[in-house]
Amino acid sequence: MFSLVKDPDPILKQKAEHWDFTQHVNAAVVEREMLDTMNSFNGIGLAANQVGLLRRVFVMKLQDGRELGCFNPWIMFGDNDKIDDEEGCLSFPNLWLKVARHNKITASYLDNTGKPCIIELEGLDARCFQHELDHLDGITFTEYVSNLKLQMARKKQRKLNG
């Protein structure tokens, strides 16, 4: 299991590098350890830079209970129906922010064997995929809100964290 990186660690703002299956041969091990880490915190998604790895991989738990490891993921299509909804992040404990995201996406990724996959996601699953993909680009959900909204949310976060 990995250690969880928390805000304000600068690795959360760094862009992850391409996963190379010829050089990074432990894809299945990394995926399993990331899933174990995510599940130990009761999360639904976890990006590699949240555990100190600057590689383009994240894991997520779909609403139907399936677990995905997504290597070199990207979004092929996002609908015009953006939904403003509350998000949290394991690296930002007890911080909750409303973020607008596509409600439906079509995404592509490689599984832990390097096999190409295409998946259509909607609702919370689509939101999670977009949130984790942002992490790989060095973007955190805090960047989607105004400074005032972020300050108000951080005040609540400090109370909740004691």
Tokens of 106: 């079509």
Q: Considering the chain, what percentage of its residues have pLDDT values greater than 90?
A: 96
Map residue 76 onto helix, strand or coil. strand
List the alpha helices (DSSP H) in 47-146: 124-136
The pLDDT, as a whole number, for residue 43 is 97
Residue-wise pLDDT for 134-161, tens only, equals: 999 999 999 999 999 999 999 999 999 9
The pLDDT, as a whole number, for residue 95 is 97
Burial code (b: 16+ CB inside 10 Å, e: under 16) for 48-82 equals bbbbebebbbbbbbeeeeeebbbbbbebeebeeee
Domains of the chain in sequence order? 10-161 (3.90.45.10)
| pLDDT above 90 (res 66) | yes
Tokens of 2: 């990995």
The pLDDT, as a whole number, for residue 105 is 98
Residues in the chain, overall count: 162
Residue-wise pLDDT for 91-134, tens only, equals: 999 999 999 999 999 999 999 999 999 999 999 999 999 999 99
Residue-wise pLDDT for 1-34, tens only, equals: 899 999 999 999 999 999 999 997 799 999 999 9
pTM more than 0.85 = yes
| 132 in Cβ contact with 58 (< 8 Å) | yes
Sheet holding 116-122, edge to edge: 45-47, 57-61, 67-78, 104-110, 116-122
The pLDDT, as a whole number, for residue 5 is 97
Active-site residue, 132 included: yes
**Catalytic residue of the set 17, 67, 86, 132:** 132
The letter for the amino acid at 107 is A
The pLDDT, as a whole number, for residue 38 is 98
From CA 37, how far away is CA 97, in angstroms rounded?
23
Cis peptide before 116 (omega within 30 of 0): no
